[in-house]
Amino acid sequence: MDITDRRIVLGTMDFGTRVAPEQAFAILDSFVADGGVWLDTANCYSFWTDPSGAGGASERVIGAWLRARPGARDTVRIATKVRHNPLVPHAPDSAEGLSARAVHSGVEESLGRLGVDHVDLLWAHAEDRTVPLGETVGAFGELVAKGVALRVGAANHAAWRVERARSLARERGLEPWTALQLRHSLVQPRPLAPVAEGGHRMLAGEDLDLARSEGLAVWSYSSLMWGSYVRADKPLPAVYDHPGTARVLGVLDSVADELSATRNQVVLAWLMRQGIDPIVGASRVGQIEEALAALRVRLGDEHLARFAEAR
C-alpha cells in the first residue's frame, strides 16, 4: 500500500468542550501543515460535557477555524454525523433520530455551525430502528442529490443493515452508503463481552468482509484506546483483561523497538496496513504530530503474523 493510500483522520469530538478553541486551532493548524486532510465531527459533540447539555460545540469550533483561515476549506474534507443530538438539553433519550425530517434538519444546522455549503461525508451516527430504513436511505440520498453531502456512510451499524440500506438505495437510484465507521484497535475485549461505552459497536470480521467485497471505506474510532497504550494513568478497561492482551502488548513493544516507533504509531500503522483509516483525537499538538508520523511506519507481513498469532 502506497503512503498516499494511508491516512489519519483527526477526531474533533472534544473541541469546544474539553479542548479550548485556541488549542483546537493549534491542533488543526498542525494537522493541515503536516498534510492531514480529513476532520471527523458530529452534531452531538459533545453534549455530555457541554454545560448547555446540547451538541454543536465541535462544529462551531471548526467553523470558526475555517473563517479564520481563508482557503482552509479547500485543503480539508469534513465529515459530520446526525442521529444523537438531543432535542432537549441534558436529555440523551430525546435524540433526534434518523427520520427524514431529523436528518434534513440536523444537516442544515450542522452546515450553519460549520459555515459551509456542503460536507464531504455524512454519517448516520447509529441505527434508529424506530424509523423505516427506507426513509433514512431516502433522506441521505436526497442530500447527496442536492450536493449537500458528497458521500454518505454508516457508523455503528450492523453489516446486514448496511447492505440492506445499500440495496434499497440501488433500487431507488439513490447514492448508497459507501463508508463504515466502527470501534477497532489492536487489543480486543474478551469475546462476547460488552464494552461499557453505550452505543459503541465493535468492528467484526463480517464488516471487513462487506467492506472489501463492496469497496467501502472503513474508519475506526477509539483507535488508541484513549491513551491506554502509552499512559500508566489510563489503564485498559477491565473487559480487555485477558491473556491475549498481554501477548499482544508484548509483541507491540518488540515491534516498536525494532522500528524505532512509539506504541501508538505501531497501532496506527497496523490499522492502516489493513486498509482502515484510524480516527485520532488530540488535546495537544504533539499528539497529532506523533500520530501523523505513523504514516512513515512500515509493518511487514512478518509483523502482522506476529500480532495475529499473539491475539
Confidence class of residue 3 from pLDDT cuts 50, 70 and 90? very low
Q: How many domains would you assign to the chain?
A: 1
Mind listing the pLDDT tens digit for each residue in 241-286? 999 999 999 999 999 999 999 999 999 999 999 999 999 999 999 9
Looking up cell 438505495 gives 169
> Rounded distance, CA 33 to CA 16, Å?
21
Q: What is the CATH number of the domain that holds 23?
A: 3.20.20.100
pLDDT of residue 4: 42
Instruction: Look at residue 2 and tell me whether its pLDDT is greater than 60.
Output: no
Looking up cell 450492523 gives 158
Query: Among candidates 132, 177, 186, 187, which has minimal Cα distance to 155?
Result: 177
Q: Which domain holds residue 48?
A: 3-310
pTM metric for this prediction: 0.96
- Cell numbers that stand for 130 in this block: 424506530
pLDDT of residue 9: 98
Contact (Cβ atoms closer than 8 angstroms) between residue 26 and residue 286: no
